[in-house]
């Protein structure tokens, strides 16, 4: 993963990050420290990195820092600051920030100390500033383009099987990355097992015999994703939320449930799969009862 590659060198590189460094790099470093991807988990350092980029107006950083304040992760919980950061990101067109505003309250004027304007540097009229060269990342690089060999073998299985289920392989890989980090032996406290963390009921529902078998597990996960995408008429965020919390929870709240784990899960999946909508087969299942005709996206 591209982010993991940044994170693996973060201990050495973070000290060299300056205000002139591309904000996207700061966000990638923050993500690595927030979730412990390639480095030791350090929410406080993640918040500082997000704030550096947020101060320069990066909406993804503003949203991520707002999320940390909304959940008290690495910083003291402060809904007013979270609301202000979400509002700034939403004003820049950040869809997740617009949704998050519904869960926090505030006058949108509070900001963390780290976002106060910088003091201007001392003037140096006789010395011309050295040019700063910044390598700008691609707007949406494929996070699965440079996987290590053992993860690449799993990705190859997904690439081979996904077309039969009409599921974008990148969405399936995003779910695998967040669910199990590509570990076929992964097992949760709720007895979810394998790459796509299938619980016994889901495995039985989609005829999975061996949840630890890579191919069998991926087939079951793809079948479930296909069903969820049809049920929520291609809305990826709702499908991801239901994969984590179940369809009943999404239907009950008529959207992403207000569970911190589920909201964080959806955010992480959407970092890896940036499309809000996904093609679906309307013949598989009737839409969720709370979806109206106008809510359903194109098939």
Rounded Cα–Cα distance for residues 250 and 268 (Å)? 18
- Tell me phi and psi for residue 55, to 5 degrees: -65, -30
Rounded Cα–Cα distance for residues 229 and 215 (Å)? 21
Please identify which residue in the block is written with the tokens 């973070």.
14
Sequence-distant (≥ 6) Cβ neighbours of residue 49 within 8 angstroms = 14, 17, 26, 27, 29, 30, 33
- Tell me phi and psi for residue 156, to 5 degrees: -65, -40
Return the bridge partners of 277, or none. 235
50-76: b or e for each residue (b if 16 or more CB lie within 10 Å)? bbbbbbbebbbbbbbbbbbbbeebbbe
- Counting Cα atoms < 13 Å in the Cβ hemisphere of 197 gives 22
Please identify which residue in the block is written with the tokens 């993860």.
151
Q: Give me the catalytic one of 37, 52, 60, 179.
A: 179
Rounded Cα–Cα distance for residues 128 and 38 (Å)? 39
Lookup: tokens for 165: 């289920």
Rounded Cα–Cα distance for residues 38 and 60 (Å)? 21
Count of Cβ atoms closer than 10 Å to residue 12 Cβ: 8
Active-site residue flag, 119: no
Lookup: tokens for 48: 């500082």
Of 143, 178, 174, 171, whose CA–CA distance to 4 is shortest? 143
Q: Which DSSP symbol is given to 232?
A: T
Rounded Cα–Cα distance for residues 260 and 221 (Å)? 23
Tell me, rounded to whole angstroms, the distance of Cα 151 from its chain centroid: 19
Residues that are catalytic: 179
């Amino acid at each position: 993963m591209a982010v993991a590659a940044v994170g693996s060198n973060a201990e050495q590189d973070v000290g060299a990050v300056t205000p002139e460094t591309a904000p996207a790099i700061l966000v990638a470093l923050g993500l690595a420290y927030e979730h412990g991807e390639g480095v030791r988990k350090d929410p406080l350092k993640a918040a500082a990195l997000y704030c550096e980029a947020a101060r320069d107006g990066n909406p993804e950083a503003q949203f991520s820092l707002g999320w940390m304040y909304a959940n008290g992760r690495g910083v003291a919980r402060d809904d007013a600051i979270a609301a202000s950061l979400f509002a700034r990101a939403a004003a820049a067109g950040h869809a997740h920030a617009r949704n998050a505003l519904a869960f926090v309250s505030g006058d949108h004027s509070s900001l963390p100390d780290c976002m106060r304007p910088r003091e201007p540097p001392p003037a140096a009229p006789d010395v011309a500033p050295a040019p700063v060269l910044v390598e700008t990342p691609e707007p949406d690089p494929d996070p699965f383009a440079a996987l290590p060999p053992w993860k690449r073998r799993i990705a190859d299985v997904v690439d081979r099987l996904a077309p039969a289920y009409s599921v974008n392989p990148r969405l399936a890989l995003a779910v695998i990355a967040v669910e199990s980090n590509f570990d076929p032996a992964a097992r949760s406290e709720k007895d979810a097992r394998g790459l796509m963390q299938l619980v016994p009921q889901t495995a039985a529902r989609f005829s999975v015999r061996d949840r630890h078998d890579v191919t069998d597990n991926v087939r079951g996960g793809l079948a479930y994703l296909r069903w969820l995408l049809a049920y929520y008429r291609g809305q990826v965020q709702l499908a991801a939320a239901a994969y984590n919390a179940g369809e009943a929870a999404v239907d009950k709240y008529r959207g992403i449930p207000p569970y911190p784990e589920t909201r964080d899960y959806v955010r992480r999946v959407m970092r890896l799969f940036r499309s809000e909508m996904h093609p679906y087969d309307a013949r598989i299942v009737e839409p969720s009862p709370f979806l109206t005709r106008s809510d359903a996206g194109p098939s």
